[in-house]
Amino acid sequence: MKNDHLNGLIALKAVAEKRNFTAAAETLGITASAISQTIKQLEKRLGVTLLSRTTRNTNLTEAGIRFMTDAGPALDQLLTAMQGLGSYADKPSGLLRINMPRSFYSVIAPSVARFTRMYPEVSIELFFDDDIADVVERGFDAGIRLSELMDKDMVAFKLTAPFRFVTAASPKYLNRMGRPKHPKDLLAHNCIRIRIGESELYDRWEFEHRGKEFEVKVDGSLILNDTGHLMNAVCDGLGISYFVEELIRDQLESGKLEAILEPYASISNGLYLYYPKRSQMMPKLRAFVDHLRGEGFSGRRNLVGND
C-alpha cells in the first residue's frame, strides 16, 4: 500500500468519526485543507465520492458508508499495529538476533548475561555460524566476526585487541613427525584444515616475517567445519592446524598443544560486532552497543566502503 493511499484512508476515518474537517485535522495534527486534499485524491483514485460536504455538515455518502463498513475494521487493526510499534522506537525491546562463530562466545558471554538482566524486555538470539554471514539477507540485527571475515559496507564496533594467529600441534605429533622450522616446511606435514560455510576451504595460512606477509597453501588428510572438533583433532595428534591464539590458550598452557613457527605468526585486527549502516539504529541494538562500550570494549568505526 502506498503512503498516499494510507494517508487518505486515515483522513477519511477521522472525518467520518468527527463529522468535521477541522476537528479531524486537530486529531491528526495537520490542517483541514490538507485533509480535504488527501480525501479528494483518494476519491479520484477510487472513482467514487466518499464524503458529502455542505457548509454545515460532512457525512459519508452511500459509497463511503459501504467502504468504511468493509474496510474500517481492517484499518483499525492496522492503526493499532502501527501504534504498537511505538514501543520499539522508544525503548529497547523485542528480539535481538546476532550471528557469530561458536568459538568466540566466551568473549562476550559475561556481557550478554549482564545485558539480559539490565534489559529484561530484550531477548537475545545468538546464532552460531562459522560462515561469512550476510546479516541483512539472513535477517540478523548484527554479526560478530574477525575483521578479515566481515561483510563490507558495515558499521563495526571493535570488541577486542588484536589477535595472533598461531600454528599449533600436539607434542605427540611433533615427536613423531618433527617440528617445522619455516612455514614452507608445512608442505611436508599433515595439516588439518577448516571449511568456512559450504564452499570456502581455509587452506591458505597467512604468516608474517620482518614486516612482510605471505601465504602457504597447505594440504592434509582431514577437513572439518567446526573449530571445537578441529582443536580436539589436533590435541589427539592427527596433525597441525592454524588457530587464533586466544582460543587455544588453555590447551597451550596445559601442554596439550604447542605453538610452532611463532616468529612467523600473523596478527588479526581483532573481533568486531558489525551491523548495517542505517540512519537510525533500533533501540535494542543501540542499547547493546552502548552496554558493550560501558563494559570496556573498544569503539566504532566504518569499514572499507563506507564514508
- List, in order of start, the domains of the chain with CATH numbers: 3-84 (1.10.10.10), 89-157+276-296 (3.40.190.10), 163-268 (3.40.190.290)
CA dist 15 and 104 (Å) reads 57
The H-assigned helical ranges of 213-303 are 227-235, 249-254, 283-294
Residue whose entry in the numeric block shows the C-alpha cell 581483532: 270
Lookup: cell for 287: 542499547
Lowest mean pLDDT among 1-5, 118-122, 202-206: 1-5
Instruction: Work out the average pLDDT over 113-140.
Output: 86
Better-predicted residue by pLDDT, 59 or 256: 256
Lowest mean pLDDT among 2-6, 197-201, 255-259, 282-286: 2-6
User: Alpha carbon 85 to chain centroid distance?
Assistant: 20
CA dist 148 and 268 (Å) reads 7
| Top-confidence range, 4-8, 106-110, 172-176, 281-285 | 172-176
Instruction: Work out the average pLDDT over 59-80.
Output: 82
The continuous run of DSSP H or E covering 213 comes out as strand 212-217
* The predicted structure's pLDDT at residue 279: 43
Better-predicted residue by pLDDT, 153 or 177: 177
Strand partners, 162: none
Lowest mean pLDDT among 12-21, 97-106, 206-215: 12-21
- Burial of residue 209, with CB atoms counted within 10 A of its CB: 0-12 exposed, 13-18 middle, 19 or more buried: middle
Instruction: Work out the average pLDDT over 131-155.
Output: 77
**Residues 5, 45: contact at Cβ < 8 Å?**
yes
**Residues 230, 192: contact at Cβ < 8 Å?**
yes
**Residues 140, 281: contact at Cβ < 8 Å?**
no
* The predicted structure's pLDDT at residue 3: 46
Long-range contacts of 10-13 (CB under 8 A, 24+ apart): 10/75, 10/79, 11/35, 11/38, 11/39, 11/42, 12/39, 12/42, 12/50, 12/51, 12/64, 12/67, 12/68, 13/68, 13/72, 13/75
The continuous run of DSSP H or E covering 165 comes out as strand 163-169
Q: In the 8-state DSSP scheme, what is residue 71?
A: H
Residue 140 has pLDDT above 60, yes or no: yes
Beta-carbon contacts of 301 under 8 Å, excluding residues fewer than 6 positions away, are 155, 156, 157, 158
* The predicted structure's pLDDT at residue 85: 60
CA dist 146 and 244 (Å) reads 10
The count of residues in the chain is 307
Residue 169 has pLDDT above 60, yes or no: yes
Q: What is the pTM of this model?
A: 0.62
Q: What is the mean pLDDT of the chain?
A: 84
* The predicted structure's pLDDT at residue 146: 83
Beta-carbon contacts of 279 under 8 Å, excluding residues fewer than 6 positions away, are none
Residue 1 has pLDDT above 50, yes or no: no
Better-predicted residue by pLDDT, 43 or 214: 214
Query: Over pLDDT 70: what percentage of the chain?
Result: 88
**Residues 277, 162: contact at Cβ < 8 Å?**
no
Instruction: Work out the average pLDDT over 139-144.
Output: 88
CA dist 239 and 44 (Å) reads 75
The continuous run of DSSP H or E covering 215 comes out as strand 212-217
- Three-state DSSP at 167 gives strand
Residue 303 has pLDDT above 50, yes or no: no
Q: What is the pLDDT of residues 173-225, one digit of tens each?
A: 999 999 999 999 999 999 999 988 777 888 999 999 988 999 999 999 999 98
Instruction: Work out the average pLDDT over 263-281.
Output: 82
* The predicted structure's pLDDT at residue 72: 78
Lookup: cell for 292: 558493550
Q: What is the CA radius of gyration of the chain?
A: 30
* The predicted structure's pLDDT at residue 149: 62
Better-predicted residue by pLDDT, 1 or 92: 92
Instruction: Work out the average pLDDT over 156-175.
Output: 92
Q: What is the pLDDT of residues 87-100, one digit of tens each?
A: 555 688 889 999 99
Phi/psi-derived region of residue 94, left when phi > 0, alpha when psi is between -120 and 50, beta in every other case: left
